[in-house]
Structure 1
Amino acid sequence: MNEIHPGLLFSLLALLVVISAFFSSSETSMMALNRYRLRHQAKSGHRGAKRAMELLVRPDKLIGVILIGNNLVNILASVIAGAVFTKLYGDAGVFYATAALTIVILIFAEVTPKTIAALYPEKVAFPASLILQPLLWLLTPLVLLVSSISNGLARLVGVETTVGGESEHLAPEELRTVVFESGALLPSKHKGMLLNVLDLDQATVEDIMIPRNEVMGVDLEHTAEQILQQLAESSYTRLPVFTGDINQVVGILHLRRAAQILRDGPQNFSVARLKSFTDDPYFVPEATPLPTLLMNFQKTKRRMGLVVDEYGEVMGIVTLEDLLEEIVGDFTASPVPSDDQEIIATEDGWYRIAGGTSMRDINRTLGWHLPTDGPKTFNGLAMEYLESIPDGNISFFIQNYLVEIEEVSNTMITRARVKKISS
């Protein structure tokens, strides 16, 4: 090497630094690739993405060939640098070579290329795969030897090196984070719908059902005139039909099928004929998860279910519209127009809330975080906290929410004022 001109050696040294930078940037860019975006690009026919995916099937082999190449280049560069500096400066050349080469490799072959690769992984990884693929094939025996030794050492310390397991799949919480942080890539409304779908598993039928005291139905013990008037004036599409009490349900009546009864008038009305127009009731346990309810509705072609508790008592009804509103939000107006709204904004951040309002509706409407793992209505939450029905108008705190009772009946808190206090 003493006969070679120093200028040629410096040129060779510069080339080795460039090759080292290539290996360093390749490693960082390959590991920084978004796997899900990469799969999408590969399915779309992107050749660079396909090559990168093939290399990442066995990341241990990929890292092996990169590190083998990088170390060979760095070692060769240190030998050449030592020879050049020894020739120029004598015995002190080894020290100069070590210091100079460390600075050069650190800046030009490590930090700078890895920073660029981390910022633009696709722009670096896809072209690099053109070189890494044949290089991996060429160095396969050496890569296998190194990989088998390193994997064996990893297993000795209890690390499983099997590639392609559950790490490639996202947990629901991780997927929720991906959707939440998607930024401008997803419209806010679509993002909200996706998050609502992921949250369905956290709710049951009991959370969204219409309680039995609010259920509008046809009581067969009423007179023909009362029943026909109710059918003519009803704003609902389907009504449960029962005898005296909703626990004695006969079926579900679709008002479209009841048009013939209305045309015939009260003189031709009969309970038996009304029953012939009803469908068999569909019962749903109150603890049924919402995804299960959705699949059951789809399987049975149903749009309404009667919610029952563990004793078989009817607790209320649940409809397909209620379920869909958990995903898309309130997409229809209340079928019964009323000034008596459940949540009314007043002055200075106060809200007047009806006692029967669902806790999920309150949190979703106001963006609050009142507890939902216990009682399902605001009245239930307040009475659980007070452990009794209050005698009059009182104030108290539930977490960082100030509650002022406004109206109380013999059996429940009918209305209260609530304000969120900054914590």
Structure 2
Amino acid sequence: MMRQTIFNTNCYSSMTGLGITITALVILILCSAFFSGSETAMMALNRYKLRHLAKRKHKAARRSLKLIRRPDRLLGMILVGNTFANIIASAILTSYAEQHLGHIGIILATILLTFVILLFAEIIPKTLAALFPQQFAFPASSILAPMLFVFYPVVWTLNSIANILFRLFGIKIKQSEVTEALTQEEIHSVVHDSKGKLGPRNKNMLLGVLELEMIKVEDVMIPHHKIEFINLSADISEIIYQIIHAEHSILLACYDNIENIAGIISTKRALRFITEDRKPTYEDILGLLHAPYYIPKNISIKNQLINFQQKGMRFATVVNEYGEIEGIVTVEDIIEEIVGEFSDTYQVDTHITTQADNSHTTTGETTIREINRHLHLQLPTEGAKTISGFIIDQLQEIPVGKCCLKVSHYTIEVMKVENNRIQLVKIRQN
């Protein structure tokens, strides 16, 4: 009877010890998982989004931002907690296994604990934290902040020792609370990859602003053959007719052709002059002319926009290195590079039509930039500026009829050619 009582007591004691051991191990592994996940979540937080939320007085964001401003202290405290949790868990399980299973128990406990820690205290929490950093970091910050305050002496001591070792090996650690600024190319990539966050219209406008430095005047100018001008060689009635029916508010005034520029004329000002009682004379028209403003074709539209602003002008004549007229550019042409989608709202003719089969037709004189912008394509913009010039560069000849070529992921079909000029083109994505 005595032996039975002792056996039951030992069995109960063993079960109690096992229960306490398992409970302790579960708590310690959960602590280890918390520290592991917190480390990944804190380091994966979007600094710019965090600052935005902090400015809006989001308490968790402010707390998290304060913690990651000194990552050495935060990581030191997390690693201290994580290491202690793992070491204590290992000691408890090893002691229990050795007591009940002997030396083989130590080996089994090591294997089992390694598997459990890797799976439940490292892989799973870190994966979840990497996928949902904000959801993990914000609640964790409420625990990490007071812990950092309590364990600061230990963390400071460990960091100081680490810094001394770094200096011994010639490694300089710079403490900075300022997040490295994004470059223009990185901002461009962020905006380009924003998908549906910004919306296509806002996205195009932001990309237009970022690309102002890269776009040259020759990319947006009205080319030589499309320039509207007032012919001063005509008689006065014809000149007045041209002014009244002009499509633009500022025009070049030339003798016979675009190469003989006399000046620029404001049609709005001329119209007010024409509405007076007397009929204006040829000399009156010449008195309305202003000296033309010439600019090189390879200047960026960003710099030209600044030049327009400084000079108080809206119209410039574009010339090449030989002084020959290449085209004209206005403030509106440059602004259209930024708010091109806004112009489409008012149905400005873009010469691009989408067909039922998702292909697109356009005129040969449509610029590649315009095609890429409106159709969200990625045709190369180096070299030729228009789709007609691009096709000729690819074929190395002027097509005499319908033909087709493949470029990257696109098929470009010449639909119509007249007088050695490509009139109509069809583009479809393969």
SS of corresponding position for 2:299? coil
CA distance in 2, matches of 1:352, 1:15: 67
Picking from 207, 219, 223, the partner of 1:211 is: 223
Deviations 1:68-125 (A, max 9, x none): 2211221122222222332333333322432343344334322333233233322332
Contact (CA 8 Å) 2:371, 2:377: kept in 1 or not? yes
For 1:20-39, list aligned pairs within 5 A.
Answer: 20-39=32-51
**C-alpha spacing 1:366/1:40, structure 2 compared with 1 (3 Å):** closer
Identity %: 36
Picking from 266, 280, 300, the partner of 2:311 is: 300
Alignment-derived partner of residue 357 in structure 1: 366
Asked if residue 381 in structure 1 is aligned to residue 383 in structure 2, the reply is no
SS of corresponding position for 2:95? helix
Deviation at 1:280, TM superposition (A): 4.2
Q: Partner amino acid for 1:113?
A: P
For 1:23-422, list aligned pairs within 5 A.
Answer: 23-136=35-148, 137-148=152-163, 151=166, 162=174, 168-264=180-276, 267-271=279-283, 273-329=284-340, 331-332=342-343, 342-343=351-352, 353-387=362-396, 389=398, 392-393=400-401, 395=403, 397=405, 399=407, 401-404=411-414, 406-409=416-419, 412-420=420-428, 422=430
Q: Partner amino acid for 1:43?
A: K
**C-alpha spacing 1:155/1:198, structure 2 compared with 1 (3 Å):** farther
Contact (CA 8 Å) 1:155, 1:161: kept in 2 or not? no
Aligned length: 409
Contact (CA 8 Å) 1:60, 1:147: kept in 2 or not? no
Deviation at 1:286, TM superposition (A): 0.6
Deviation at 1:229, TM superposition (A): 0.9
Provide TM-score, normalisation by structure 2: 0.80
CA distance in 1, matches of 2:116, 2:375: 58
**C-alpha spacing 1:128/1:416, structure 2 compared with 1 (3 Å):** closer
Deviations 1:255-286 (A, max 9, x none): 22223321236744243x33443444333221
Deviation at 1:366, TM superposition (A): 4.6
Deviation at 1:33, TM superposition (A): 0.9
Contact (CA 8 Å) 1:196, 1:327: kept in 2 or not? yes
RMSD: 3.6
Alignment-derived partner of residue 8 in structure 2: none
The gaps in structure 1 that reach 5 residues or longer are: none
CA distance in 2, matches of 1:282, 1:67: 67
SS of corresponding position for 1:202? coil
CA distance in 2, matches of 1:97, 1:305: 82
CA distance in 1, matches of 2:41, 2:117: 18
Contact (CA 8 Å) 1:404, 1:417: kept in 2 or not? yes
CA distance in 1, matches of 2:224, 2:123: 68
